[in-house]
Amino acid sequence: MWRMVLPLALLVLCCGAAEANCGPVLLRIKGETKTQSAREKILVTIAPEPDRSNPLVLLEGEKFYADVYYKPLESRGILFGSGCNKRPQKVIVSLLVDGKEVDKKVMLFNRDFVSDGDGGYVLRTKLQLGK
C-alpha cells in the first residue's frame, strides 16, 4: 500500500511547492488626444481578460495616463505546476465622447510594448487618439 501512497504524496507535495508566487506586472500607458473635452473618456481593456475591472485613467488636458496591473500566473497543469510568464495578447485603448466610441487603438503586447527595466512595460511609440 505504501508503494502507491508514497509516490502520490510526493507528487502532491512537489506540485504544491511548485506553485508560483507571482506579483502583479504593471503596464504603463501614456498618450494624447487630439480633442480636449470634459465629455471624453479613455477606456483601457486587456485581452484575453475581459472580466477584469477597467483601470483608472488620469486625463490632464490632451494627455492621459493609465497604470494597468495584471497577474502573470500561468497554470501548466498538475504535473508541471505554474509559472509567472503569462502576458496579455492585446491592449485596447478607446476614446469615448458622450459615451460613443470615436477612436480605438489595438496594440499587440509582443510588438508594441517594451520592458521599462523595473519589471513593468511601456509603449514603444507615442499613442494618439482622436480623428
Given CA atoms 109, 111, 116, 119 in this order, what sign does their dihedral have? positive
Cβ within 8 Å of residue 75, ≥6 positions away: 82
Residue range 48-82, pLDDT digits in tens: 775 565 788 888 888 999 988 887 766 655 555 56
Pairwise CA distance, residues 124 & 103, whole Å: 20
Full-model pTM: 0.72
The total number of structural domains that make up the chain? 1
User: What is the tens place of the pLDDT at every residue in 105-118?
Assistant: 999 989 999 998 88
| Peptide linkage before 7 cis (omega within 30 of 0) | no
CATH of the domain at 39: 2.60.40
Any domain includes 14: no
pLDDT reported for residue 59: 87
pLDDT at 45 over 70: yes
Residue 69 in domain:
yes
